[in-house]
Amino acid sequence: MVARYRPGKKDGILTKEITDDVGASLEEWYGTGSTLDLDIPEIRSHRNSFMLRYSITTPAGQKKHALVKIRRNPKMDTLTEAIQGDIHQSVQMEYQSLLFVYNRIPAQDENLGAIRPLSFFEKYPAIAMEEYPSRTLRQILDKQRSSGTDRSSCELKDAARKTGRWLYYFHHNIHTPTNTPYTTEDILREVQDYAVQIETFSQRRVIASRILDAFSKKLEHNLIDWVDFSQSHADMTIDNVLYSDDHRVCVVDIKTRLAPIYADLGLVLIHPETSRREILFGGRYYPDSLLREYRAQIVAGYFEEKPGGELLARIYSAIKVLDKWLMYEELLQRYKGAKHLLSLPAGPWISRYFTSLLNKHLELIGNNETEQAQEGEITT
């Protein structure tokens, strides 16, 4: 998502310092004789980062592009504000995650990709990486929604299936999953924790016991004793999945924490349906047929090598609906003053939308996408 950039008075000095560091690193990155094509980078402003883009010519005459990423929040208009903020605690960990994955994704695999990290500039702090010519999974979904062509459909299917394969490789090859005792009762405790918070932040528009009862009814005939835990991505959204020009999938912004493998899978499966645009359109922005195909391809890609966890994927899809629901309810309660007054009509809308979405994903537990089940519905 593009956001505004307003150059500050000190941004020119800062940009020159970064450019000097990039220039001094070229030999290490691309060999002796590498040069910057321009002394001034193109600055791209995104909601959560600034990207400084440098064009480079290698000794062999190849054109490369390097990006220097500086984290920001949307209220930071200048580069100087961004580097002076207190939001950079995990930037070095992000760089290490990029490096870890890059060294473990097989270069010859025609399905999986990884960004090449170049350097970590501690004093800013910033990550230098090689540009990965690509589009996000969100952009591919939006293209298919607007064009509806067979070519766009094939592209979405390919990108979604490879997203599932990338995530499986991340959980099972880059990391090692552990079969951990985890029962239906443990899952219901997760659900209860979300439900109680949703009830609180919605000011009891939503009743926690109804959510828990709906899950209990759907799970009572599904015996669960073990769940695979692995190092998870922890932010597996359609904005963090990149589909390259050579048709490989790469995933960025890896947070890395121990969790059930199905938590990542559940999030990427439901993320399009929890976008602000989808909520604003009342669940009609993306056609149901498009979302069904999207989910089916991700699940097929993930379980292509080792089937058997599809039920847990559906369960965690419903749990991730709760996670996103809580996020929106909490956000509305944080607004103050005029913004709070303007947000008041949104509360009931959010509760109704997520009630409907949760019922939809509860229906899919233990069923095929095309089947419908009536038990375990909740109401507001």
Tell me: do 309 and 337 sit in the same domain: yes
2 part of a folded domain: no
Contact call for residues 72 and 50 (beta carbons, < 8 A):
yes
Smallest CA-to-CA distance from 145 within 337, 366, 34, 293 is with: 293
Q: Write out 98-164 in H/E/C secondary structure.
A: HHHHHCCCCCCCCCECCCCEEEEECCCCEEEEECCCEEEHHHHHHHHHHHCCHHHHHHHHHHHHHHH
Tell me: do 118 and 144 sit in the same domain: no
Q: Give the model's pLDDT for residue 5.
A: 74
Q: Give the model's pLDDT for residue 371.
A: 37
Q: Dihedral of CA 157/44/324/233: which sign?
A: positive
Q: Which residue(s) pair with 337 in the sheet?
A: none
HSE toward the beta carbon, residue 29, CA cutoff 13 A: 26
Tell me: do 104 and 201 sit in the same domain: no
Cis (ω within 30 of 0) for the bond into 125? yes
Q: Give the model's pLDDT for residue 4.
A: 65
Tell me: do 51 and 174 sit in the same domain: no
Domains held by the chain: number: 2
For 329, the domain range is 136-363
Tell me: do 101 and 166 sit in the same domain: no
Smallest CA-to-CA distance from 220 within 106, 376, 78, 1 is with: 376
Q: Give the model's pLDDT for residue 362.
A: 97
| Tens-digit pLDDT string for the chain (380 aa) | 555 677 888 999 999 999 999 999 999 999 999 999 999 999 999 888 999 999 999 999 999 999 999 999 888 889 999 998 777 778 998 999 999 999 999 988 999 999 999 999 999 999 999 999 999 999 999 999 998 788 789 999 999 999 999 999 999 999 999 999 999 999 999 999 999 999 999 999 999 999 999 999 999 988 899 999 999 999 999 999 999 999 999 999 898 899 999 999 999 999 999 999 999 999 999 999 999 999 999 999 999 999 999 999 999 999 999 999 999 999 999 988 888 887 888 999 999 999 999 999 999 996 654 433 334 455 54
- Measured in residues, the chain has a length of 380
Tell me: do 210 and 344 sit in the same domain: yes
Q: Give the model's pLDDT for residue 373.
A: 33
The structure tokens 């009342």 sit at 282
Q: Give the CA radius of gyration of the chain.
A: 22
Tell me: do 150 and 108 sit in the same domain: no
Q: Give the model's pLDDT for residue 292.
A: 97
The DSSP 8-state label assigned to residue 4 in this structure reads -
Tell me: do 34 and 181 sit in the same domain: no
Tell me: do 183 and 297 sit in the same domain: yes
d(CA 58, CA 26): 9
